[in-house]
């Protein structure tokens, strides 16, 4: 697995969620980010990597509503 590619895809999904046009698009991007975080976590757990715990938290995190500032 190319972790750098996966990290970049995860970041793109999060940034896409931040500028989504509506809630459905935002939730879809967050679901994509969660799926990618799960893949990263599984890979890291398989290697015994200490960083895997952080990705497990990212994968199972509840989406937080994005509020716009005036």
Residue 65 has pLDDT above 90, yes or no: no
CB 55 within 8 A of CB 37: yes
Q: Which residue has the higher pLDDT, 22 or 44?
A: 22
Q: Is the pTM of this model over 0.75?
A: no
pLDDT digits (tens, 9 = 90+) for 45-63: 888 777 666 666 666 655 5
DSSP state letters, 2-64? -HHHHHHHHHHHHHHHHT-SSHHHHHHHHHHHHHHHHHHHHHHHHHT-TTHHHHHHHHHPPPP
What span, in angstroms and rounded, lies between the C-alpha atoms of 58 and 52?
10
Q: Where are the domains of the chain?
A: 3-61
pLDDT digits (tens, 9 = 90+) for 17-38: 999 999 999 999 999 999 999 9
The candidate with the shortest Cα–Cα distance to 55, out of 41, 65, 68, 67, is: 41
In the predicted model, what is the mean pLDDT of the chain? 82
């Amino acid at each position: 697995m190319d972790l750098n590619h996966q990290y970049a895809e995860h970041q793109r999904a999060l940034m896409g969620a931040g500028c989504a046009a509506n809630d459905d698009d935002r939730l879809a991007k967050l679901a994509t980010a969660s799926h990618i975080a799960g893949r990263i976590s599984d890979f890291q757990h398989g290697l015994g990597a200490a960083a895997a715990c952080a990705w497990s938290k990212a994968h199972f995190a509840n989406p937080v509503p994005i509020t716009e500032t005036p």
